Amino acid sequence: GQNIDQPTEMTATEGAIVQINCTYQTSGFNGLFWYQQHAGEAPTFLSYNVLDGLEEKGRFSSFLSRSKGYSYLLLKELQMKDSASYLCAVNNYGQNFVFGPGTRLSVLP
């Protein structure tokens, strides 16, 4: 089976750094995606990792360790507009995407 875990909720302060973790157990791993979803809106793509290491994209970075089944999304210089749910999703060979439960991030002034 496949299992993806993320913290349910996190709170951080504007301007700070926050790390959202995602652990997974899966077979045929073929990449991990992070999506952002604002309340009432569709998920939008943030990042993709298929090899171990860090992928940086502006204020957002994503890290993957395939041997540990672990990824994190790092958000720097937090802004109020970053308040959203963050979904980690695993892509498996020949199978469908599996999404984690999502982490609801609240950014406080």
Distance CA 82, CA 24 (A): 24
Binding pattern for the stretch 19-58 against other proteins, x by CB under 8 A and - elsewhere: -----------xx-x-x-----xxxxx--x-x--------
Nearest approach, Cβ of 37 to other proteins (angstroms)?
A: 9
Is residue 30 a contact partner of residue 50, using CB atoms and an 8 Å limit? yes
Nearest approach, Cβ of 94 to other proteins (angstroms)?
A: 4
Q: Are strands 103-108 and 9-13 parallel, antiparallel or unpaired?
A: parallel
Nearest approach, Cβ of 13 to other proteins (angstroms)?
A: 26
- Which of 81-99 are b and which e, b meaning 16 or more Cβ less than 10 Å from the residue's Cβ? ebbbbbbbbbbbeeeeebe
Give the up-direction half-sphere exposure of residue 103: CA atoms within 13 A in the CB hemisphere. Answer: 24
7 binds other proteins (CB under 8 A): no
Nearest approach, Cβ of 17 to other proteins (angstroms)?
A: 25
Interacting positions 63-92 with other proteins (CB under 8 A): 87, 91-92
Where along the sequence are the contacts to other proteins (CB under 8 A)? 30-31, 33, 35, 41-45, 48, 50, 87, 91-102
